[in-house]
Structure 1
Amino acid sequence: MRILIVQHANFINGSGGTEKICSFLANTFEAGGHEVIIGTNEKIAGKPVFPLSENIEVKNIYSENDGQIKFLPIYNYLGKNPLRWLSFKLEKKFAKAKNRKIIQDTGGEEKLYFHNLSARAVQWKKYIDGISPDVIITMSIGSLLEITYNNEYDIPIINSTNGRPDYDYSDILWYRPDYEMKLLEAAYRHLSGIQVLFESYRSYIPKSFTGKVFVISNPINGSDNTHFPSNQKDRHKVTHVGTLNVSCKQQDLAIDVFNALAASKPNWILEFWGEGKDFKLLKKKIKSLKLENRVFLRGFTDDPIRHMKEADIFIFPSKYEGFGLALAEAMSVGLPCLGLASCSGVNELILHKKTGYLADNNEQLQAYLSELMDNEVERNAIGGAGKEFILEKCSHSLIERQWIDLVDNFKQ
């Protein structure tokens, strides 16, 4: 069977959860004897971040002559040369003015959106008809919309949903204009099947979808090398892994909670692994609280599991998540974990006081963190239960079998 996996943007050079799952699916299907192509459409140079079998083709169908009306790129100068800063500022001002003119000449943002979407859909149709896949898997509803807008296929299309389904077609998390939300919701009618992460997520699928629903978790690598750091060591670690984005991941909340306990817990530190737009904001906060020797921004890591094994507690105070991949990985190595009860995804993985702690507010989060800091026996018990839960529900072998069974449903 020839399987086309479509991630229309961000796969090249992307290191997020969607890119990781896309690579996992490609490797799973290839190991199962299928021919696999990953298709993307983006003006970018680079390569996939996560390992792929050498037999998997990655095809970027982007073309300068694809009929799109393109904006001028806007760059920020990060250096210290005042002349270059001025040059970049003038270029940025010109680009913004030119882009406003493009929108005006096209007839507005909505008409420009439809024009470019149509151009990309034509490009996808030509490519897909040329390779004739047996099954198409889209990595988002945005990817589904791109390939199906004004197009019809006699090919089963399955969407891999890497978050809560309504995040994909609504404006719950960020602004989307009405016309885009209507298109995204309507795109579900093209699907033969959809994969969701939790049983409860079925209720967030729109009525436009009439295909089969498959509940399949994200895969988590099990660890046979769990390490529970001893109370005998000089310094203990609370850790967090994730993109530095306070509007979602709320690392600033983790700092506030730790700060309230820092004086009474002098042998504990807090560390963050990850990069993101809020690095400077968090660094400034750490400095303002005089926590430079207690709270650390460690930067990017290609081996988060190793750092989790060196830690004692995992704190994950996200406002929203689809699954919480870093949380599940922390649980898989036996780290006791804390999160917010209101956070989707997190409240599916953590069963309160069984596989971790779910706090209703900041005060509870602080109290639970303090409790875990003070009690190694409790850390070990909660961490062990969390590991058992994750490895039962999310093992690689289980998820691989479920996905192979899923595509077998659509053999023609």
Structure 2
Amino acid sequence: MKILLVQHLCFLNGIGGTEKICSTLANIFNEHGHEVEIATNENVVGMPVFPLSEGIKVTNIFDPAVEQKKEFPIYNYRGKNPFLWLKFKAKKKYHKWYNWRLKYTLGGEAKLYQYNLRKRSIAWNKYIDQLKPDLIVTMSISSLLEITFGNSLPMPIINSVNGRPDYDYSNIWGGRKPYMVDLLTHSYRYLDGIQILFDSYRRFLPSDFSGECRVIANPIELGDCTKLAEHSSTKERYKIIHVGRLDTACKQQHLAIELFNKLAKKYTQWDLEFWGTGADFNRLNEQILDLDLSDRIFLRGFTEDPIGKMKDADIFIFPSQYEGFSLALGEAMGVGLPSIGFSACSGVNEMIKQNKTGFLALNKEEMLIYLEKLIQDSSLRQQMGIKAHLSMKDYNLDQMVKGWMKLIDTVITKKGI
């Protein structure tokens, strides 16, 4: 069987959880004898970051000839040169007029969005028609919309959900206009199957979905029981660690810095360490410099060995506002780190068991209390770390493989292929 995985953006050079799961799925399908291709549509030069088995093809269908009508950016000149101010003022007025004219000509902002989307979906349809896959797996509802808008694809489609389902199509966190929400929601009608991460996530699927739904968790890499994070021995320095994209809107690393600052003078042997890259590096670095803690808080950047970094740490702090299924959190728990997150954070509140494998805080004040509690008690860190490690054993690759093979067989059978 020929299987096409579609992640229309961010697959090339991408280091996130979705990219990792996309590569993992491709390898699973390949190992089960299927012909596998991954497709994206990105105006970038790059390669997949996570390893792929030999024979898996990656195709970037991006074509600069595909028309995309774009609005001009609007920005204000902030310099003091009066001539440049006049120049940019005139440019700003022209850009506003151009943008208005563009949307007016096409029938409004929503029509402009659909115009560009349709041009891309035609390109997808042409590519898919030539490839003729037996099954398509989309890595997000946005990718599903890209390939189905205005198209009639005959093959079954399964969507892999790497977050809470409503994050894919709603406007909970802002940024999506009502017409985008409508299009994303209605695209569920094209799905024959969907994979979700937790059973509780079923209630977040829209009524437009009527296909097969299966709970298939992501696999967590577990450390050897004899090589977990060490909590029983005395150290010169202790580490609170965070691994993830530097994104304060979602990951809220600034809160971890704020909390550590309140404890730093009292616990002088402890440091805070961040591993990851992202758009908010400068903001976080400025926060660290303002607090004069650059010798205690470190932005380490990207690592190819997050497991090794976690094993060398003592506490995992994860103050995210929202998650789907955090691989970083799962890996931290897997190597025996007690973890702290927010009780209102989806995914996190499914993985951390309160007072057993870590702590779920109601707010940052409570998170500070839990953090200090773990700093003070190495035996508590040890007990919680072992329980955290054991709790991650259900999240293994074998279970993921069985779940996906069963979902595919069910969908293919129902489709009559």
Verify same fold: TM over 0.5. Answer: yes
Residue of structure 2 in register with 1:5 after alignment: 5
Structure 1 residue 152: Cα displacement? 1.8
Cα gap change, 1:287 to 1:95, in 2 (>3 Å): farther
Residue of structure 2 in register with 1:287 after alignment: 289
- Please give the alpha-carbon distance, in whole angstroms, between the structure 2 residues aligned to 1:405 and 1:355: 31
Matched positions, count: 400
- Please give the alpha-carbon distance, in whole angstroms, between the structure 2 residues aligned to 1:214 and 1:286: 44
Residue of structure 2 in register with 1:333 after alignment: 335
**Do 2:260 and 2:272's aligned partners in 1 also have CA atoms closer than 8 Å?**
yes
My pick for the range that moved more, 297-306 or 314-323, is 297-306
Residue of structure 1 in register with 2:110 after alignment: 110
Gaps of 5+ in 2: 76-84
Structure 1 residue 312: Cα displacement? 0.5
Q: Which amino acid aligns with 1:268?
A: W
Structure 1 residue 106: Cα displacement? 4.0
Alignment of 1:106-145 (within 5 A): 106-145=106-145
Residue of structure 1 in register with 2:234 after alignment: 232
One of 254, 257, 262 as aligned partner of 1:255:
257
**Do 2:166 and 2:204's aligned partners in 1 also have CA atoms closer than 8 Å?**
yes
- Please give the alpha-carbon distance, in whole angstroms, between the structure 1 residues aligned to 2:410 and 2:299: 46
- Please give the alpha-carbon distance, in whole angstroms, between the structure 1 residues aligned to 2:61 and 2:99: 24
Q: Which amino acid aligns with 2:194?
A: I
User: Helix, strand or coil for the counterpart of 1:398?
Assistant: helix
Cα gap change, 1:244 to 1:169, in 2 (>3 Å): same
User: Helix, strand or coil for the counterpart of 1:410?
Assistant: helix
Q: Deviations over 1:356-391 (max 9, x none)?
A: 11011112111111111111111011011111111x
Residue of structure 2 in register with 1:410 after alignment: 411
Structure 1 residue 64: Cα displacement? 2.0
Residue of structure 2 in register with 1:81 after alignment: none
- Please give the alpha-carbon distance, in whole angstroms, between the structure 1 residues aligned to 2:105 and 2:206: 35
Q: Is residue 358 of structure 2 the alignment partner of residue 371 of structure 1?
A: no
User: Helix, strand or coil for the counterpart of 2:360?
Assistant: strand
Structure 1 residue 400: Cα displacement? 1.9
Residue of structure 2 in register with 1:79 after alignment: none
Structure 1 residue 72: Cα displacement? 7.0
Cα gap change, 1:95 to 1:214, in 2 (>3 Å): farther
Q: Which consecutive aligned stretches of 4+ in structure 1 deviate over 3 angstroms post-superposition?
A: 70-75, 92-108
Residue of structure 2 in register with 1:276 after alignment: 278
Residue of structure 1 in register with 2:391 after alignment: 389
My pick for the range that moved more, 166-175 or 103-112, is 103-112
Alignment of 1:10-409 (within 5 A): 10-70=10-70, 102-103=102-103, 105-224=105-224, 225-390=227-392, 392-409=393-410
User: Helix, strand or coil for the counterpart of 1:319?
Assistant: coil
- Please give the alpha-carbon distance, in whole angstroms, between the structure 1 residues aligned to 2:320 and 2:308: 22
Cα gap change, 1:296 to 1:68, in 2 (>3 Å): same
Structure 1 residue 405: Cα displacement? 2.2
Structure 1 residue 398: Cα displacement? 1.8
User: Helix, strand or coil for the counterpart of 2:300?
Assistant: strand
Structure 1 residue 93: Cα displacement? 6.9
- Please give the alpha-carbon distance, in whole angstroms, between the structure 1 residues aligned to 2:174 and 2:51: 31
Cα gap change, 1:93 to 1:35, in 2 (>3 Å): farther
Cα gap change, 1:234 to 1:101, in 2 (>3 Å): farther
Cα gap change, 1:39 to 1:402, in 2 (>3 Å): same
Q: Which amino acid aligns with 1:242?
A: G
- Please give the alpha-carbon distance, in whole angstroms, between the structure 2 residues aligned to 1:268 and 1:254: 13
Q: Which amino acid aligns with 2:394?
A: K
User: Helix, strand or coil for the counterpart of 1:393?
Assistant: coil
Cα gap change, 1:73 to 1:24, in 2 (>3 Å): farther
Q: Which amino acid aligns with 2:247?
A: N
Structure 1 residue 296: Cα displacement? 1.1
Cα gap change, 1:221 to 1:109, in 2 (>3 Å): same
TM-score with structure 2 setting the length:
0.90
Q: Deviations over 1:294-337 (max 9, x none)?
A: 11111111211111011000000101111122111100111111
- Please give the alpha-carbon distance, in whole angstroms, between the structure 1 residues aligned to 2:269 and 2:72: 52
TM-score with structure 1 setting the length:
0.92
Cα gap change, 1:348 to 1:339, in 2 (>3 Å): same
- The sequence identity of aligned pairs, in percent, is 52
**Do 1:229 and 1:311's aligned partners in 2 also have CA atoms closer than 8 Å?**
no
Q: Which amino acid aligns with 2:300?
A: R
- Please give the alpha-carbon distance, in whole angstroms, between the structure 2 residues aligned to 1:133 and 1:174: 35
- Please give the alpha-carbon distance, in whole angstroms, between the structure 2 residues aligned to 1:250 and 1:113: 31
Structure 1 residue 59: Cα displacement? 1.1
Cα gap change, 1:307 to 1:101, in 2 (>3 Å): farther
- Please give the alpha-carbon distance, in whole angstroms, between the structure 1 residues aligned to 2:74 and 2:398: 44
- Please give the alpha-carbon distance, in whole angstroms, between the structure 2 residues aligned to 1:165 and 1:236: 37
RMSD of aligned Cα (Å): 2.3
User: Helix, strand or coil for the counterpart of 2:411?
Assistant: coil
User: Helix, strand or coil for the counterpart of 1:299?
Assistant: coil
- Please give the alpha-carbon distance, in whole angstroms, between the structure 1 residues aligned to 2:411 and 2:371: 47
Q: Deviations over 1:125-155 (max 9, x none)?
A: 1221222111110001111111111222221
**Do 1:229 and 1:310's aligned partners in 2 also have CA atoms closer than 8 Å?**
no
